[in-house]
Homo-oligomer: A and B are copies of this chain.
């Protein structure tokens, strides 16, 4: 019989993962506070229902919400799913959360005889839709085994990082440190180039073939060239994720000055009202400071 799965959070990442599970033949219930997203998922062949009625039937819960507070609410809140799950069901926690939070959630699930996989994701909305994410996973052998059909349906690569929660979220924090700094550095370099007479499209053409390239530059710089700030990933993500990095760093007595500097640029972007734009919009912080006009922007 097909596995019963619930996906909490049908934003672009969660919707892609839920759809990938459907395509793999799993029975998938989708939940989101946005009714329009739920309707779209029903149209794809997904299911919905009252959490308390669906939960006892589930083999697995996939949580793809924005932050630790939302994971807390979905799992352990007033209408949380955990109390209604059957023994041995597995919870996949895919949001970017502090490693300490993941460890704590694993412990609380164990108290209810539930399996827990610390399973943050990387790859963006396109790979989520294709079922080709990278998943930075840690957890018990039993959790990996129980989660296997979902990992197979949603991931191109599963990095198996340890036998307990925390390691997956730690690696995700490392990845976010790099990704967040690289986007802001792309913005700094592109606008610096503009002051030296280098057009943004020339910047992209040359740098993507040179040693200054990064995955994020290649992905985000074209958004600036196109003047298209449709939020595939929002500016608002970065104060949150770099905040997780710096909190974990602080607890470890570690100084991360480049991360701190990049975080300041994202906070300036939020103050400029750009929080809900694509994160490439951090470029506008530099453009405003230097009096530059980015492609497709007026005046």
Query: Are B264 and A257 closer than 8 Å at their CB atoms?
Result: yes
- A134 interfacial by beta-carbon distance below 8 Å: yes
Looking at chain A's contact residues, the main secondary structure is helix
Query: Are A211 and B290 closer than 8 Å at their CB atoms?
Result: no
Task: State the Cβ distance, A37 to closest chain B Cβ, in Å.
Answer: 24
Query: Are A206 and B265 closer than 8 Å at their CB atoms?
Result: no
Task: State the Cβ distance, A60 to closest chain B Cβ, in Å.
Answer: 24
B-contact bits for A181-204, CB 8 A (1 contact / 0 none): 110111011111101111000110
The count of identical subunits is: 2
Query: Are B185 and A170 closer than 8 Å at their CB atoms?
Result: no
Complex contacts, A162 vs chain B, CB 8 Å? 197
- A248 interfacial by beta-carbon distance below 8 Å: yes
Query: Are B188 and A259 closer than 8 Å at their CB atoms?
Result: yes
Query: Are B207 and A178 closer than 8 Å at their CB atoms?
Result: yes
- A261 interfacial by beta-carbon distance below 8 Å: yes
Interface stretch (choices A40-48, A50-58, A61-69, A213-221): A213-221
Query: Are B261 and A257 closer than 8 Å at their CB atoms?
Result: yes
Whether A182 contacts B214 in the complex (CB less than 8 A), given A173-B196, A188-B177, A209-B134, comes out as: yes
- A161 interfacial by beta-carbon distance below 8 Å: yes
Minimal Cβ-Cβ distance residue in B for A122: B210
- A225 interfacial by beta-carbon distance below 8 Å: no
- A17 interfacial by beta-carbon distance below 8 Å: no
Instruction: Point out the residue from B173, B196, B212 that lies within 8 Å of A252, measured CB to CB.
Output: B196
- A49 interfacial by beta-carbon distance below 8 Å: no
The 19 sampled A-B contact pairs (Cβ below 8 Å) are A122-B211, A136-B206, A162-B197, A171-B203, A174-B190, A174-B193, A175-B206, A175-B211, A175-B212, A178-B214, A182-B182, A192-B245, A192-B249, A210-B215, A214-B217, A253-B290, A258-B262, A258-B265, A261-B261
- A178-B185, A181-B258, A258-B262 given. 10 additional CB < 8 A pairs? A170-B198, A171-B203, A174-B192, A177-B189, A177-B212, A188-B258, A192-B252, A196-B252, A252-B290, A257-B261
